[in-house]
Amino acid sequence: MEKLRYERPLIKRLESEMPNKFGMKAEHFPKSHIDGVAVKDLLEEHGSPLFVISEKTIRNTYQRAKKAFSTRYPKVQFAWSYKTNYMDAVCNIYHQEGSWAEVVSGFEYDKAIKNGVPGKRIIFNGPDKTISDLTKAIQNESLIHIDHLDELYTIVELTETIKKRPRVAIRVNMDTGVYPMWDRFGFNYENGQAWDALNKIMASGRMDLIGLHTHIGTFMLSAKAYGVAARKLADLALGLKRKYNHDIKYIDLGGGFPSKNTLKGAYLPGNDTNPVFDDFAEEIASALLNSEFSPDALPLLILETGRALVDDAGFLLGTVISNKRSSKGKRNTIIDIGVNLLFTSFWYDHKISPAQEFTHFNEETTVFGPLCMNIDVIRESALLPLLNRGDHFVIHSVGAYNMTQWMQFITLRPRIVLIDMNEKVHIIREAETMDSFNKFENTPEHLKKFEL
């Protein structure tokens, strides 16, 4: 007789209190396949842990976002936010879909150029653009979003030696009624800094002021704030028209749209409560169309959303190392994924699904990573099935920031694979090796030998 699948014995006291109306459902439904490829096979071939990216989800999400905006506003352009995920394969999917590149450093700028993005289709944001970066961006006719006056004056200086007119916009920060208000980037709308910068650009006569940009926050749960932002940028653009008879070519509302992840402390799952692309598109398009822009001079609407486009396309597969019980009686499960790989676990209660069938029995579990650090907690509390040592699981919605903010710590970073539209698996980043890590180190001759 074939033996039954083992599940550890479980006894739970039945509580007689009122049920928790905000309770999250237990995650006992398995995620055994991603785009038709078995999780078990992926881990066998590529090792555990493993990042997996779904090309199908990326394209579907992008098309959903594009449809939401382009059905409401006639001129829409997306620019892929490199910092959210700058794996070349991922960037190129967005470029194939028509996205420009949005970069925030010289490193990212060079990556976009190497990927084949024309200079004119690169938006250069961020507070740290070196003279060399700016020179390159001016020569390539990239869209330079000026962050502060020092940068503005540097560009003016550079125009004395570079015989090209820089194509610039300013980044504007503003009060949109949300907390916290981001005011560390760009020039403030309310106190007149933004107008001051625009006047200085126009007075210099050496630059082409072609856009206005804002990025009001991150993981924004209020679509209305974008309507406020669009109205304030429209007000600046219309002011330029009145004062200088100058038409702005584009308005860039940045990013900050949320993914389906659930923020820590949220009562309900993000999947059910977070605004979707249509909500943001409605607010932004209405604000611009209802402004005083002449219908034949509507500016191009640029969007730099990153997280909402890529988060749900990323999965992190792993393996259970051990089960323990804490001194207070709570179930602790240790997995082979730490906060160094899953940076976003500091902000989200990531959904974790088993990769194999389980019964409906579950246990409230604290999920710890393998790092020898007390902060290494992936989920403080999750209702999980009775995972055994060696069982596999899938962490959902990890496509944004984890592959750019991950840290090499006490072990080497794993492979990243991409599942293409035909369910074929491609390695898009190799796992680190001791050699690849050590090649950056140099031990002085006198420190090479010792006796113990």
Partner 1 sequence: MKIKPNIAVSDSGFVFNPDTGESFTVNPIGVDIINYLKDNKNTGEISTQIRQKYNVEQPTFEKDFDDFVGLMLNYSLVIND
* Binding positions for partner 1, rule: CB under 8 A: 3-14, 323, 325, 329, 359, 361, 386, 388-389
CB 251 within 8 A of CB 299: yes
Which C-beta is closer to partner 1: that of 36 or that of 329? Answer: 329
Beta strands 416-419 and 425-429 are antiparallel
Which C-beta is closer to partner 1: that of 205 or that of 329? Answer: 329
Which C-beta is closer to partner 1: that of 40 or that of 56? Answer: 40
CB 109 within 8 A of CB 103: yes
CA dist 114 and 108 (Å) reads 10
CB 332 within 8 A of CB 368: yes
Which C-beta is closer to partner 1: that of 78 or that of 358? Answer: 358
Nearby residues of 287 by Cβ (< 8 Å), 6 or more positions away: 226, 227, 228, 230, 231, 234
CB 375 within 8 A of CB 345: no
Please state the closest distance from residue 330 (CB atom) to partner 1, in A.
Answer: 11
How far is Cα of residue 443 from the mean position of the Cα atoms in its chain? 37
- Classify 78 as helix, strand or coil: strand
CA dist 168 and 189 (Å) reads 18
Helix runs in 26-146, H state only = 39-46, 55-70, 88-97, 106-114, 131-139
Q: Which strand (E) or helix (H) includes residue 128? A: none
Which C-beta is closer to partner 1: that of 9 or that of 295? Answer: 9
Please state the closest distance from residue 323 (CB atom) to partner 1, in A.
Answer: 8
Please state the closest distance from residue 393 (CB atom) to partner 1, in A.
Answer: 18
Please state the closest distance from residue 328 (CB atom) to partner 1, in A.
Answer: 11
- Classify 3 as helix, strand or coil: coil
Please state the closest distance from residue 329 (CB atom) to partner 1, in A.
Answer: 7
Nearest alpha carbon to residue 408 among 380, 371, 444, 368:
371
Kindly state the DSSP code that residue 72 receives in the 8-state scheme: T
Please state the closest distance from residue 376 (CB atom) to partner 1, in A.
Answer: 23
Which C-beta is closer to partner 1: that of 185 or that of 358? Answer: 358
Check the CA dihedral 139-136-301-232 and report its sign: negative
The values of phi and psi at residue 437, to 5°, are -75, -45
Which C-beta is closer to partner 1: that of 12 or that of 448? Answer: 12
Please state the closest distance from residue 353 (CB atom) to partner 1, in A.
Answer: 19
Please state the closest distance from residue 324 (CB atom) to partner 1, in A.
Answer: 9
Which C-beta is closer to partner 1: that of 222 or that of 323? Answer: 323
Nearest alpha carbon to residue 407 among 366, 346, 365:
346
Which C-beta is closer to partner 1: that of 139 or that of 332? Answer: 332
Please state the closest distance from residue 356 (CB atom) to partner 1, in A.
Answer: 13
